[in-house]
């Protein structure tokens, strides 16, 4: 199951140890690590990505569920996120892109107080026990949530509602007196622009979700091939 994992520590060194532990579990084929980053919560409430290394081929961090979650924890994700260490990020992400619920973000925020650190990772695991044992041994507080399927229902409903409003205004425009047609036409233009923007936003989200899903499939295929190549050759 694909999950978002956040482990909060009092010391940055422990977060780095946790990152190494996840890498080891990945190497042992216990879990799959798609993306991970060490994040610090600053005194002003913002979050800073300490370092992003060994990038996974599922897209730049800013465009992934992991990047969206980091943004929700502390503010707008910069365009260069994923390429630079020590980059502050913030709240320009949304829960749709993070694919987790707001209650999960709030639970993490309450624990990830200023001057604390977190290992944030998108992983695949069949059981929670191996990760929990390693993280708890390091003194970490573990939060995890299964990643939801990308849903577009709310956006589709918003578009449907705006289209209904547009139809109503157009009907009023057709019967309006001359002194009102200009105002109604302005409303029609504004609403039509909002609908087109919403449709484009939904299209971009669908495309991004599809691209990440395809990238994960290719990543897992490559990982399986690498694991097979490392396995001892069987002798007849």
CB atoms within 10 A of CB 153: 7
C-beta separation of 191 from 169 below 8 A: yes
Helix, strand, coil percentages for the chain (3-state, nearest 5): 55, 20, 25
Contact between 12 and 118 under an 8 Å Cβ cutoff? The reply is no
Q: At what angle do helices 102-111 and 65-74 cross, to 10 degrees?
A: 60
Q: What is the pLDDT of residue 100?
A: 65
Tell me what pLDDT residue 90 has: 41
Determine the pLDDT at residue 149. 52
What is the model's pLDDT at position 2?
85
**Token pair belonging to 90:** 């913030």
Please give the pLDDT value at position 181.
86
Spans of all domains in the chain? 2-146, 153-230
Query: Under 8 Å CB-to-CB from 231, ≥6 apart: which residues?
Result: none
pLDDT the model gives residue 86: 38
Residuewise pLDDT in 10s, the chain (236 residues): 888 899 999 999 999 999 999 999 999 999 999 888 898 888 887 788 876 555 444 444 445 677 778 877 774 443 334 333 333 444 344 555 556 667 788 888 889 998 899 999 989 998 889 999 999 999 999 998 887 654 555 566 667 877 887 888 888 888 888 877 888 888 888 888 888 887 887 777 777 777 777 888 888 888 888 888 887 654 44
- Separation of alpha carbons 51 and 34, rounded Å: 16
pLDDT of residue 62: 47
What lies within 8 Å, CB to CB, of 230 at 6+ separation is none
C-alpha span between 13 and 207 (Å, rounded): 38
Exposure string of 200-225, with b = 16+ CB inside 10 Å and e = fewer, is eebeebeeebeebeebbeeeeeeeee
Look at residue 76 in the predicted model and tell me its pLDDT: 42
* CB contact at 8 A, 21 and 135: yes
């Amino acid at each position: 199951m694909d999950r978002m994992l956040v482990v909060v520590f009092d010391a940055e060194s422990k977060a780095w140890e946790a990152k190494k532990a996840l890498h080891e579990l990945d190497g042992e084929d216990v879990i799959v690590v798609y993306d991970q980053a060490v994040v610090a919560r600053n005194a002003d409430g913002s979050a800073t990505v300490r370092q992003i290394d060994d990038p996974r081929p599922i897209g730049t961090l800013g465009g992934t569920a992991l990047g969206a979650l980091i943004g929700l924890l502390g503010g707008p994700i910069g365009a260069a996120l994923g390429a630079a260490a020590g980059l502050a990020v913030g709240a320009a992400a949304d829960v749709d892109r993070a694919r987790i619920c707001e209650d999960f973000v709030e639970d993490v925020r309450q624990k990830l107080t200023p001057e604390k650190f977190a290992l944030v990772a998108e992983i695949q695991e069949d059981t929670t026990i191996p990760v929990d044992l390693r993280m708890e041994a390091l003194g970490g507080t573990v939060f995890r949530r299964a990643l939801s399927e990308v849903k577009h229902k709310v956006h589709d409903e918003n578009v449907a509602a705006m289209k209904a409003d547009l139809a109503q205004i157009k009907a009023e425009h057709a019967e309006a007196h001359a002194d009102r047609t200009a105002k109604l036409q302005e409303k029609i233009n504004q609403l039509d622009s909002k609908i087109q923007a919403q449709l484009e936003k939904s299209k971009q989200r669908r495309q991004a979700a599809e691209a990440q899903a395809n990238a994960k499939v290719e990543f897992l295929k490559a990982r399986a091939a690498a694991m097979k190549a490392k396995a001892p050759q069987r002798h007849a």
